[in-house]
Amino acid sequence: MAMMNSSSALTLFCCFTIFLQFLSVNSRDSPPLAPALYVFGDSLFDSGNNNLLPTLAKANYLPYGMNFPKGVTGRFTDGRTVPDFIAEYLRLPYSPPSISVRTLVPLTGLNYASGVCGILPETGSLFGKCLNLDDQIELFRLTVELKLVTSFGSKKELSEYLSKSIFIFSIGNNDYINNYLLPLLYDSSKRYTPQQFAQLLVGRLSQGLKNLYILGARKMIVFELGPIGCMPWITRRSKKGQGKCDEEANSLVSHFNNDLGSMLKGLTSTLSGSTFVLGHVNWLGYDAIKNPSNYGLRDTSTSCCNSWLNGTATCIPFGKPCANTNEHFFWDGFHLTEAVSSLVANACINGSSVCLPMNMEGLLKI
């Protein structure tokens, strides 16, 4: 399904009447819909933090970024990510990698997401240093207490700014991919049942969200985990036949997703003035994989770029990708193409069945 992004829609709208042309109103001149966008998570949201960390998990080479206006940035996809499309809708700049900002902190938001990391501190450690959930929240605390506080005249102004800003999360994928599903390297699958592991992850995430609330965050969107059993990393290794989703792996994350929804409802009811939105995307991803033509897709089982390990891992540097990236679901063995990120973002912004209990438009009205 080809979707017009918010920036294009605003431009067309601004050119629709002579009156608007006369006033020179366009997406750049109009005020932003929120003061800032703060991004947390893993490689689905990473905008380049891993470029500056001693880790093997990097996307700082072509063909990554081949469809992104600025080229290679460290995004683990061909173009824009879900946070990028949300930033465009909010009329904000793309949130830059937090550890790349050395002096003046932009008041329009930062990105703390880090590839291969997760909720648990040990997740992703085999690849080097990355920013786990606790690291990301600690960096945000330092941003608020050491940098943002000097940009506002009073604590009340800072509090109002943070309460109106948008915070988005996509984290937990690697706790399964790079932890629970690697029994030779991690013992988590021996120590915890699937239900216990999900409870562990959601409990740690809940505490992290509470810490952000204490720091001033009020509007938070937390995306659930997608159907990881349909990733080429799993399907092309599966004994059930290449291209077929591993439903056992999908059922693992269903425990996490079910607990996540209940947890977010509980936080909204107990933390005064907060609104926690569930990004209910698992069904959307699964439906797009099973019914690709309904979404303008053609290939939902193989990676678009030429990937290591028989198409199951990250892109081989400078390899030639597929011809029609917008028809593919997977960019490499793990990550989405820009086309799918656009689908997810737009469904959350103004749809009725992805971001619950309200979409982005509704969240901004609070």
Positions annotated as catalytic residues are 43, 332, 335
How many CB atoms neighbour CB 16 within 10 A? 10
Nearest to 3 by CA among 253, 349, 365, 267: 349
Q: Other C-beta atoms within 10 Å of 141: how many? A: 14
Identity at 363, one-letter amino acid code: L
Q: 129-138 — which CB contacts under 8 Å span 24+ positions? A: 129/53, 129/54, 129/55, 130/50, 130/53, 130/55, 130/57, 131/49, 131/53, 131/99, 133/40, 133/171, 133/204, 133/205, 133/208, 134/208, 136/40, 136/112, 137/40, 137/112, 137/208, 137/211, 137/212
Q: Six-digit token pair at 249?
A: 């792996």
Task: Decide: 202 and 259 in contact? Cβ < 8 Å.
Answer: yes
Amino acid code (one letter) for 50: N
- DSSP readout, 274-319? -EEEEE--HHHHHHHHHSGGGGT-SEEEEESS-BHHHHTSSBPTT-
- Lookup: tokens for 291: 């019914």
